[in-house]
Amino acid sequence: MNAFIFPGQGAQFPGMGKDLFENFSVARHVFAEANEVLEFDLAGLCFNGPEDELKLTRNTQPAILTMSIAALRVVESETGLRPAFAAGHSLGEYSALVCSGAIDFAAAVKTVRLRGTFMQEAVPVGVGAMAAILSAEADALLEICAEAAQGEVVAPANYNSPGQIVIAGHASAVQRAMEIAKGKGYRKAMLLPVSAPFHCALMQPAADRLKAVLDGLSYQQMQLPVVTNVEARANADAARVQDLLLTQVCAPVLWEQSVNAMIQSGVTRFIEIGPGKVLSGLVKRISKDVQLANVEDRSTLALL
Residues catalogued as catalytic: 90, 199
Q: Which bin fits 185, alpha (ψ -120 to 50), beta or left (φ > 0)?
A: left
Length of the chain, in residues: 304
Confirm if 234 and 151 have CB atoms less than 8 A apart.
Answer: no
Interatomic CA distance for residues 196 and 121, integer angstroms: 9
Range list of β-strands (E), the chain: 2-6, 85-88, 128-134, 154-161, 164-170, 189-191, 226-227, 234-235, 269-273, 291-295
Cβ-based burial of 73 (10 A; exposed 0-12, middle 13-18, buried ≥19): buried
Interatomic CA distance for residues 12 and 273, integer angstroms: 13
Whether the CA torsion 177, 179, 181, 184 is positive or negative: it is negative
Interatomic CA distance for residues 49 and 69, integer angstroms: 19
Interatomic CA distance for residues 192 and 303, integer angstroms: 32
Interatomic CA distance for residues 233 and 226, integer angstroms: 8
Interatomic CA distance for residues 103 and 3, integer angstroms: 19
Those residues whose C-beta lies under 8 Å from the C-beta of residue 119, and which sit 6 or more positions away, are 57, 196, 198, 203, 206, 249
Interatomic CA distance for residues 255 and 161, integer angstroms: 7
